[in-house]
Structure formats: structure tokens, C-alpha cells
Chain A
Amino acid sequence: MTASYVIAVTLALVIAAIFAPVIWNGVPSGGDDDPSVAVITLRGGTTDANVNAVKQDLREARTNESIEAVVLRVDSPGGPVDSSEEFYLAVNRTASEMPVVAYVEGTAASGGYYGIVPADEIVVKPSSNVGSIGVIVQAPLSLIEQVEQQGETFVRSGPDKAQISKDGLREDIEVLQRSFVGTVMRHRGEQLTLSREEVANGNTYLGAQATQNGFADRIGDTELAIERAAALSDDIEGDGYDVVYQGSGGAEFNVIIVPAGAETVQGANNVTYLVHPDDSETTFREPVKYYAVWGIPADDNNATVIRND
């Protein structure tokens, strides 16, 4: 009789021990004793995957009560305009709730800079590279000429369907450029000694130059950035804070953009081949893609070649 009570209580304790943490975590977790500064890292292009990972981290920082400030550690040459805008919006939202200090580990150019522009402060090293404000479009000119001159190899429903024109591309680029430059001017207009036109030139600047022309605020390292973030937070007093490191995006530098779903083979000279084992299916390629990227389109030796085999 007593034994059965012992078993019942033991069983209850064991099951409770399993589920209690779940319940504890299920309820929004409460504040630690010390407030903390979260260090969120983005290394690599501002691609969909990298930006989404950072967005998750930023969201975590916003919802976690103990995190009172964020250091955004960035080494990114930018990427597609759409995901770079996502990056910006996520950081902008976080910066509206708590201090955000950006630390430029290597490069924060183009889309990489787009994301850190709402930060309260930007910390750079002498070798940090910032700037390159602008947009490029990846569309082979031969394709444009082809479409303009003999676009009638397929039946279309309207005159603009499945067409690209140089004029149209220029208009689109202008729109994206204006929102990019407008964003930089809105957030850093007061610090910048450069005019809107000079910003729109798309130059890159090394750390020392950047702190002088207003692209960055001070020279320092991660520790300084953490210190600054803590100092800017009203909820952190002195050095009574913890530092939490969150995530670190995978390094994805020499990005070759390949249509989703295509099988790729790495060849000599950095050539990426798209293999189309099934010839019967018509494939459409995204005709143009807009990039906020520090770099130039890969040349012939670095090109994407479509191969059939």
C-alpha cells in the first residue's frame, strides 16, 4: 500500500520534472538580474537566408526583456535589393525600441550599409569599408537587345508582357536608388558632410575617411561597440551588464546567383554550370535582378553558363 503511494509520487515527480521546464519556458521568460547587450552577427551577403537569420536574432533581442541594447557586427558586401531592404526594416524596428550600435568588422557596403544605417552609432576599424550606395541590375545587354529587336519568338498577351527595355530598367533602378539614397540621407543626413549627390555617386570609404565624412561615427572594435551600446541604454548602469552572442550568418561571399531549384556543378575558373537534365520542360529565367552590392558583375571567366547534358 505504501509502496504504491511512493511509486505514484515518484512518477508524478519524474513527469513534473520533465514538463515543468516546458511550462516555465512557455510563459514569456522574465528578466535576468543583469540586463544584457546582444551581439548579433551578419557575415556574408545580404541574401534572403542571411537576412532572415539576422531578423530572427533581432526579433529575439526585441522580445527578450533582459536584452537592453544590440551590437550589430557586420561584414557584408550587400546583396539583392529586396533582402537588403528587409535587413534595413528589421534593424530600423529594433533601433526604435533600443540602442543599436553597428560594428563594421570588414565591409558594410551597399546592401550591408543599408542595413546598419538606422543604427545609433557606427563603429569602424581603419580597414573597414563602408559606402557604395547604389543599385545595379544584372541583365545581359545582349538579352535586352535581343528582346528589343526580336521579342516575338513567343506569343504574349500584351505589349509589355515578357519584355525588358533599357529605359524601363533605368526607371526601376532610379526608383530603388532614390529609396536607398533617401534612407541614407534620412538616417545619417545630419552626420554626413557629403551632399546627396556625392552619396549617390556610390563611392566606398575606408574607416578613417568614413568617420570624417559621416558614414561612420568612431574608430574602435567590438568591445567599444558593446560599451557604446550599453552606454546608450537607459536601462543599463555602468558596467553592470552581460553580453550575449547570437547567431553568426554563414559566410557566403563569392555569391553566384543561380535560379532556385537548378542543379549546379562547380567547374574550372569559378564557372557555375546549370544542369538541365530534363530538356522537355520550358524554363524561364528571371530576366533581371536588382542588387545593392559592392562589386561588379562577374566577367566571362566567372560567368554562369547554362549547360545541357
Chain B
Amino acid sequence: MTEGRIVKPLAVFIVVLVAILGGTFLLAVVNPGSSGPPDGQSIDGQSPSQYQPDAVNAPVDPEEGQISVDAEARGQRILVDTSHGNQVSESELEPIIEAVFEAGHTVEYGTAGTASFADSLGQYDGVLIVQPLGSYSEEERDALQEYTDDGGRVVVLAEPTQTRLSTGFTQSTTTVSFGANNATERYGVRMGSEQLYNVDDAANDNNFKAIYASPSGDGELTDGVETITFDTAGYAVVNGDAETKFTAADGTRTLETRRTGTYATVVRNDNMVFVTDSTFIRSSEIYDADNEVFIGNLLSFLLDGEAPDPGGAASTDPGFGAGGDTSTPAGTPAESTPSPTPTPAPTPSGS
């Protein structure tokens, strides 16, 4: 009897509970339109076409080839200017020095001993001037012009005005500008005021600032070169005799004022060549596009020069040191100078 007293109400309890909950469930299921779209359906466009590798992967210029230096003479000497706050270090020039060495020539980094830039020019066949921040004195400008008039060759690599981050204990930014416009103006060329950019993917090397340039004429500088790329290029302003050898790709604009135009990036005036970028000689850029061929051409151009005063031993000049060289610790004195004409002439060149 006691069993029945518990079992019956319990049975009623269970029946009522099941009836209510089951009814609720049935109602919820039967309720029209209650089944939402299954979450597992396949949705078009979730692997969008614009995300596919073909659409996004940017072709990278093959970094191959080699710098071949082709000069008729042997044992030529090239001077790298270090006395005008030049923004270049010896390690950056190593690939170039290597190529020149392989061809049997030498590169000297800074003028030897206490010789001044102006006085020692004459003994070199070519002079490489990389992004000088300092300007050239009257005497130096005269010397440079006389030097090129007499058969010496000069290559100037310039940079557009830009902001540079200097690191150290505190980070600071400075604006640096090409400082030798007063010297290059004599050759009818000076550095333009702005950087260039090009947002067309076909006209840049994976960044809007890394523009392409192509030859605009024939000659030894453009031999075998189709495209060169400059990391932070500016443009050259040309007047007079200077001849444009390379121009920036179509659609290139100036960064500040967004002007389009045909921008000269490599300019030659007889024995002087002016390039509006100095970063393409760095190891990260040197083999991009046809840069290595262009660099080979530039070096050949330098080595084809003829030292006006090959015997001039500047070391006897008790001048004013290396002209205020402040650029790099590894600068002067240069490594030993295996001069092809070892006879030391006692008188410095009169230039």
C-alpha cells in the first residue's frame, strides 16, 4: 500500500513532466519556419579571386647576373671621394671593388696620406663621388673640371633630399641633401628637389618608391641594359650639353607635388656621368633588374678614363689633410696603393 502511495503520484509526476516538455519540444519543432539555414552551406566568395596567388603574388626581379667590367687599359685606378661627407662606407662598395679588382684595376678609398682631393685627382683615371653632403670649394670645382677636360672621368651618384633616421642613444631625424650641386652645375646638371614614385605595379620594383628606369638613348652606358631599378630615386635637372641616358618609367611622379613628366635619372656630359640614386650599388639592390649590367657599364666608363697626371704623387703635398673627411671611420687612409706607375714624381700636379 505504501508502495502505491509513492508510485502513483510519481507516475503522475513523470507523465505530466514528459507531456509538458515533450509538447514544448514538438511545438518548437513544428513551429513554421523554425529551421534556420544550416551553417555548413558553402558560400561563394569566401576564397575570393582577388586573394588567389595569381592575383597577389608579385613577381620578384631575379637577382642574378654578374658585374662585368670591360676596360681596354689595364691597371687603371679609381678614386672614391670620401672628403665631402660622402654617405658611403667601404663595405657598401665591396661588390664594386671586387669586380674592379677582378678586371685588374684598383679602387682607392679616399685620397692617400695628407693629399687633398683637388691635388690628388690627376693621378686617377676615374673618380667616383657618392652622395656628398658637403659642397665643393672653388678650388675643388676648378680641379674637377680641369680633370674631366683632361680626360679623367667622374661618376656622381646623388640622392634626392630626404629624411634620415639616425639611431643611437636617442633617435632623431635629419634632412639630408645632395651637397655638390655647385660642382655638377658646371656640367649642366643638378639634382632635382624631390623624390620620385610610381604606383603602377609594372613600373616599380615592389614598392612605389623603387622605380624603374630605362635607356633613352644608345651608348656605352646603356649597352645591354633594359631596365634598372632605383630604391629612392630623384631626378636630374638638365641644361646645356648634358645628355639624358636613362629616364624614369612612364607615369612616374614627384612625391610632394605629384607632377608627371619625363624624369632624367642618368645624365652624361662628356666625361661626367650623373646618377640620381646612390642606393643601387648596395648589395641588396646591386643584382636587381639589370642593375649589375649598368654598374658594369659605369665602371667601364670610369676605367676608360685617362689620368691627366698619372705620375702625380700627392703624398708629398703638405696640404690640409683629407679636406675635412668626417664621413666614415674606415675612410682614410686608403689601403695600399699599388700604383701602376710607381715612379714618384716629386712635384705635385699644378692643378
C-alpha gap A62/B36 in the complex (Å): 8
Interface centre among B25, B46, B51 (most CB of A within 10 A): B51
Among B54-62, B96-104, B133-141, the stretch that binds chain A is B54-62
Among B14-22, B295-303, B326-334, B343-351, the stretch that binds chain A is B14-22
Q: Contact check, A23 vs B58: say whether CB atoms are below 8 A apart.
A: no
Check if A308 is an interface residue, CB within 8 A of chain B: no
Check if A251 is an interface residue, CB within 8 A of chain B: no
- Using Cβ atoms and an 8 Å threshold, which residues of chain A touch B9? 4-5, 7-8
- Using Cβ atoms and an 8 Å threshold, which residues of chain B touch A286? none
Check if A182 is an interface residue, CB within 8 A of chain B: yes
CB within 8 Å of B: which A142-186 residues: 142, 145, 148, 165-167, 170-171, 173-176, 178-179, 182-183, 185-186
Q: Contact check, B16 vs A174: say whether CB atoms are below 8 A apart.
A: no
C-alpha gap A26/B24 in the complex (Å): 11
Check if A253 is an interface residue, CB within 8 A of chain B: no
Q: Contact check, B39 vs A201: say whether CB atoms are below 8 A apart.
A: no
Q: Contact check, A29 vs B34: say whether CB atoms are below 8 A apart.
A: yes
Q: Contact check, B25 vs A28: say whether CB atoms are below 8 A apart.
A: no
C-alpha gap A145/B16 in the complex (Å): 78
A8 and B21 in contact (CB under 8 A), knowing A63-B36, A96-B45, A142-B171?
A: no
C-alpha gap A16/B31 in the complex (Å): 19
- Using Cβ atoms and an 8 Å threshold, which residues of chain A touch B33? 30-31, 65
C-alpha gap A93/B31 in the complex (Å): 27
Please encode chain A, from 41 to 79, with 1 for each CB lying within 8 Å of some chain B CB and 0 for all others. Answer: 000000000000000000100111100000000000000
How many of chain B's residues have a CB under 8 angstroms from any CB in A? 50
Q: Which residue of B lies closest to A169 (CB)?
A: B207
- Using Cβ atoms and an 8 Å threshold, which residues of chain A touch B45? 92-93, 96
Q: How far is the CB of B123 from chain A (nearest CB, A)?
A: 33
Q: Contact check, A174 vs B34: say whether CB atoms are below 8 A apart.
A: no
Check if A265 is an interface residue, CB within 8 A of chain B: no
Q: Contact check, B16 vs A8: say whether CB atoms are below 8 A apart.
A: yes
- Using Cβ atoms and an 8 Å threshold, which residues of chain B touch A97? 37, 43
- Using Cβ atoms and an 8 Å threshold, which residues of chain A touch B44? 96
Interface of A, secondary structure class, is helix
Q: Contact check, B206 vs A20: say whether CB atoms are below 8 A apart.
A: no
- Using Cβ atoms and an 8 Å threshold, which residues of chain B touch A12? 12-14, 16-17, 20
Q: Which of A29, A93, A141, A178 contacts B165 (CB under 8 A)?
A: A141
- Using Cβ atoms and an 8 Å threshold, which residues of chain B touch A260? none
CB within 8 Å of B: which A213-270 residues: none
Q: Contact check, A170 vs B210: say whether CB atoms are below 8 A apart.
A: yes
Q: Which residue of A lies closest to B210 (CB)?
A: A170
Q: Which of A8, A65, A182 contacts B13 (CB under 8 A)?
A: A8
Q: Contact check, B16 vs A9: say whether CB atoms are below 8 A apart.
A: yes
- Using Cβ atoms and an 8 Å threshold, which residues of chain A touch B29? 27
Q: Which of A4, A185, A197 contacts B50 (CB under 8 A)?
A: A185
Q: Which residue of B lies closest to A15 (CB)?
A: B17
Q: Contact check, B56 vs A30: say whether CB atoms are below 8 A apart.
A: no
In addition to A8-B13, A27-B34, A148-B284, 19 A-B residue pairs with Cβ atoms within 8 Å of each other are A8-B9, A8-B10, A8-B12, A20-B21, A28-B36, A62-B37, A63-B39, A65-B34, A65-B36, A96-B43, A96-B44, A96-B45, A97-B37, A171-B60, A174-B201, A174-B206, A179-B55, A200-B208, A300-B171
Closest 6 CB pairs of A and B: A182-B50, A30-B34, A27-B28, A12-B16, A16-B20, A8-B13
Sampled A-B contacts (30; CB under 8 Å): A4-B8, A4-B9, A5-B8, A5-B9, A7-B9, A13-B16, A15-B17, A16-B21, A20-B24, A23-B21, A23-B28, A24-B28, A27-B25, A29-B28, A30-B32, A31-B33, A63-B37, A92-B48, A96-B44, A170-B206, A173-B207, A174-B206, A175-B58, A178-B58, A182-B55, A185-B50, A186-B48, A200-B208, A300-B170, A300-B171
